[in-house]
Amino acid sequence: MLTDPADPSRVLIETADLDGDHDLVRRYGVPLKEIVVWAREYLCRPHADLGRNGPVCPYAQTSLDRGTFYLAVRPGTPDGAEAAEVLDGYRDWFLRLVSPPGVSAQYRTILVLFPDLPEAAAAEVIDVAQDALKSRYVSEGLMIGEFYPGPPPKAGLWNPGFRPLGSPVPLLAIRHMVATDFPFLRDDPGQFAAYLERFGHRPPAALREEVQAVARHYGLMTEPAT
């Protein structure tokens, strides 16, 4: 269990804490464990509808194995603006966290759960918060992902008929941006510019032509990778 030095009321729960007696674990142990099982059995495994080889999330298994998979709980039923405010605090803390020696920061993630949200309200709350936060996160080299039962209507990158963002508990996930996030950022000029600043000189080879085409579309320039 980690406590934020800037706000002792803000805690991060590690998988090893789930059999402990912290108040949040006693109250929300069922949804917390449900999300860990979901991560292990869904995110960390291949899926027939994914449209590519490998696990649904390429980073989740290492995050779990290396101890950089953190859980947080926001009790109650916030609206979208309140949920976004909660995530502001966790974003600031995420940027201050230090990964264990030898573990890349790209494997660090915080999943903020909203287990008291009724399923009927979850989509609006989570989507409103994610939409309000995404550009700010991206400008700082971060990504924020929305997950809830349903699933969310966003299509998979390799199979437009697949909806990969379903989870048993509503949550917002914080992680570092990686070079393969281009498809999530290409349609917003500000977000794409933030991507280009970090990865434009050396995008993944399979994405290089698309990245350069979008850069030309927005009047941005890239230098060829060497």
Strands (E), 80-160: 109-113, 142-147
Residues 170 and 195 occupy one common structural domain: no
Residues 131 and 219 occupy one common structural domain: no
Reported pTM: 0.91
Handedness of CA 125, 44, 159, 149 (dihedral sign): negative
Quote the tokens at residue 189.
């000029």
Residues 169 and 184 occupy one common structural domain: no
**Helices 189-199, 208-217: crossing angle, 10 deg rounding:** 130
Residues 123 and 201 occupy one common structural domain: no
Residues 188 and 100 occupy one common structural domain: no
Quote the tokens at residue 99.
């990964």
Please calculate the CA angle 199-201-207 and round it to the nearest 5 degrees.
Answer: 65
Report the number of distinct structural domains present in the chain. 2
Residues 144 and 226 occupy one common structural domain: no
E strand or H helix at 48, and its extent?
Answer: none
What domain range includes position 122?
Answer: 2-177
Reading the chain (226 residues) residue by residue, the pLDDT tens digits are 999 999 999 999 999 999 988 899 999 999 999 999 999 999 999 988 777 888 999 899 999 999 999 999 999 999 999 999 999 999 999 999 988 888 898 899 999 999 999 988 999 999 999 999 999 999 999 999 999 998 777 777 777 887 888 999 999 999 999 998 888 898 999 999 999 999 988 888 888 898 999 999 988 876 554 4
The answer to whether the CB of 146 falls within 8 A of the CB of 126 is: yes
